[in-house]
Amino acid sequence: MRDSPTSPSINTASDPLGQSLVKLLSNVCFSAFVLSVLIFTVIAITYHPPDPWLESSAAISRDLSRILPNSTFQTDDSLLTTGEDLNSSSTLSPPADLPPAAADLALALAPAPSSAACDGTVNCSDPRVLSVIRAFNAKTFRTIAFLEYGGPVDGSVAGECDVAWRFRNRKEKSWRRYRDFRRFRIAADGENCAFRVVSAGRWHSGANARRPRPAPAAVRAPVVAASYKDEEINDTLPSVGSEATFKKGKYLYYSRGGDYCKSMNHYMWSFLCGLGEAMYLNRTFVMDLSVCLSGSYSPQTWKDEEGKDFRYYFDFEHLKESASVVEEGEFLKDWKAWGKNSVKVPVRKVVSYKTTPMQLKRDKSTIIWRQFDGPEPENYWYRVCEGRVSKYVHRPWHAVWKSKHLMNIVSEISGKLDWDFDAVHVVRGWKARKTEMYPNLDKDTSPDALVAKILPMVKPWRHLYIATNEPFYNYFDKLRSHYHVHLLDDYKELWGNKSQWYNETRELNKGNPVEFDGYMRVEVDTEVLYRAKTRVETFNNLTRDCKDGVNTC
């Protein structure tokens, strides 16, 4: 039967071309697959990775030391040293790249040399002695960061070892380092003569580990103090330098204003305004180190005390590192010697605080001299930073730390209490007598009231440090029936004429003794208070009165 003439015809002319494209694409894919399999097979045959079971521990350590420093993570103390690593070395010293905690564990677990019999003898030079002391300190003093240890030395009798270390307190924002040295009683027992700490001495008890004191110079004047100077304190005055350096420099000089002899809070608020302006103008701040202490810090006389030194209260070394400053006396001497009246040293005098730092930003004068000759409060330094200026000039609070001379006393007091104490802040003084402003304060801080209010907050027979401005030492005797009470005056030897503080401040005062004044007491009391485990405050815990008087809460 023939097809109907109306049936559609099928065009097969393009069929061979489509089949060719499909075949070509299949061949390309198959070739790529074969090539990848071939490459993988060659790599698998020719590459021989090291077998970790056949490699020595030293080789593995070398490989890790090459890889880990360049990786995106760091090793931590969770990496445990195994017995194979301990026994692979002929010495007891841990690898240099071992973390401190792992290093201590390695030394603590290492057995005594086989040639030595276990007779209980303690050799302080044995690295395992330092290891158990480090572990003991880390467990006992959790608020302390131990930075560096010295080698243990023999104590007074057999079995005692003296060790010195540097540390910082975790509650302190600065990274200043302090020093302690203690005596430890060490025992060696067991088949492997394992070391352990039997007992630990008090603050600065390890006298043999103390740095040797410099021999006194052969002078006729008697040596008053038997202490050494803290070598990490640098209170020296920065100098301007040569005449060329002086004339190339840019300085901001504030004349003394009405802030002198005001409270320390007022003084620092003004001082940091001037320092902040100098930093904004990119200039060196000419600084008067002479401080007048307000009579409010001397309740016995209520008289202002001039001639104090900024370095008694604040860390001048840190200030020099944080900002560009020069001492006023050195600056005026150089200015006089190198052309105070010369046109070669351009000076711009600014007589009003209303001239803003923004207006002085492009001034090219060598010296910008702000003068504060008006009546109070027009002559306060802090007026410069008021208003819209505060958006441009910021007070550099980070540049001001408390004096390390005083902070060493704080560390010694805390160390004598083994960093394990509670504290209460009892504010009395003139506030307790101002009944119209503080109607309840005197009654709420009476001896009986203190006992009743502190007992629920502090466990009995804890070491209790009392930071207070109460002048009568026996005022807190009733608390002694419940606590081991400590007051600042219990540590007078720390600023007495045989103390480190006495030597250092006398050197700052041209050889003349310095009084441990009221503001120094406030600084030390406050810092010891901050280091307590439990802290009780007057206006938060002891009384209903407001800190700044009636209706100011």
Q: Is the pLDDT of residue 345 over 90?
A: no
The pLDDT score that the predictor gives to residue 90 is: 36
509 touches 290 (CB < 8 A): no
Q: Is the pLDDT of residue 103 over 80?
A: no
274 touches 285 (CB < 8 A): yes
Q: How confident is the model at residue 370 (pLDDT cuts 50, 70, 90)?
A: very high
**pLDDT (average), residues 173-179:** 82
The pLDDT score that the predictor gives to residue 81 is: 29
The pLDDT score that the predictor gives to residue 163 is: 93
- Token readout for 151 is 């080698």
DSSP conformational letter for 113: P
Whether omega for the bond prior to residue 377 falls within 30 degrees of 0, making it cis, is yes
Tell me the backbone φ, ψ of residue 441, rounded to 5 degrees.
Answer: -60, -45
**pLDDT (average), residues 341-365:** 89
Instruction: Count Cβ neighbours within 10 Å for each residue of 191-228 and write b for 16 or more, e otherwise.
Output: eebbbebeebbebbebebbbeeeeeeeeeeeeeebeee
**pLDDT (average), residues 279-285:** 97
Q: Which residue has the higher pLDDT, 401 or 115?
A: 401
The pLDDT score that the predictor gives to residue 228 is: 55
Q: Which of the residue ranges 196-200, 343-347, 533-537 would you say has the lowest mean pLDDT? A: 343-347
**pLDDT (average), residues 226-254:** 80
Helices 500-508, 404-416: crossing angle, 10 deg rounding: 170
Q: Do domains 243-399 and 404-542 have the same CATH topology?
A: yes
- Domain 243-399 = CATH 3.40.50: yes
Q: How confident is the model at residue 46 (pLDDT cuts 50, 70, 90)?
A: low
Identity of the highest mean pLDDT range in 171-185, 198-212, 250-264 = 250-264
Question: Which tens digit of pLDDT belongs to each residue from 398-409?
Answer: 999 999 999 999
Q: Is the pLDDT of residue 538 over 80?
A: yes
Question: Which tens digit of pLDDT belongs to each residue from 418-462?
Answer: 999 999 999 998 899 999 999 999 999 999 999 999 999 999 999
pTM: 0.71
Q: How confident is the model at residue 143 (pLDDT cuts 50, 70, 90)?
A: confident
Q: Is the pLDDT of residue 115 over 70?
A: no
Q: Which residue has the higher pLDDT, 449 or 46?
A: 449
Q: Which of the residue ranges 4-8, 498-502, 524-528 would you say has the lowest mean pLDDT? A: 4-8
Q: Which residue has the higher pLDDT, 432 or 223?
A: 432
Q: Which of the residue ranges 179-183, 379-383, 405-409, 419-423 would you say has the lowest mean pLDDT? A: 179-183
The pLDDT score that the predictor gives to residue 530 is: 94
Q: Is the pLDDT of residue 117 over 60?
A: no
The pLDDT score that the predictor gives to residue 120 is: 75
The pLDDT score that the predictor gives to residue 343 is: 58
Looking at this protein, which amino acid is placed at residue 516?
F
Q: Percentage of the chain with pLDDT > 90?
A: 54
CA distance 264 to 398: 17
The pLDDT score that the predictor gives to residue 214 is: 53
Q: Where are the domains of the chain?
A: 100-209, 243-399, 404-542
**pLDDT (average), residues 7-23:** 57
Q: Is the pLDDT of residue 239 over 60?
A: yes
Q: How confident is the model at residue 226 (pLDDT cuts 50, 70, 90)?
A: very low
The pLDDT score that the predictor gives to residue 340 is: 60
The pLDDT score that the predictor gives to residue 51 is: 43
496 touches 503 (CB < 8 A): no
Q: Which residue has the higher pLDDT, 319 or 114?
A: 319
The pLDDT score that the predictor gives to residue 341 is: 55
For domain 404-542, give the fold.
Rossmann fold (3.40.50)
Give which of 296, 295, 325, 299 is closest to 310, Cα–Cα. 325
The tokens 């029936």 sit on which residue?
Answer: 481
The pLDDT score that the predictor gives to residue 234 is: 85
The pLDDT score that the predictor gives to residue 247 is: 83
What value does the mean pLDDT of the chain take?
A: 81
- Token readout for 538 is 């007057």
Residue 531 burial (CB < 10 Å; 0-12/13-18/19+)? buried
Residue 490's Cα: distance from chain center in Å? 26
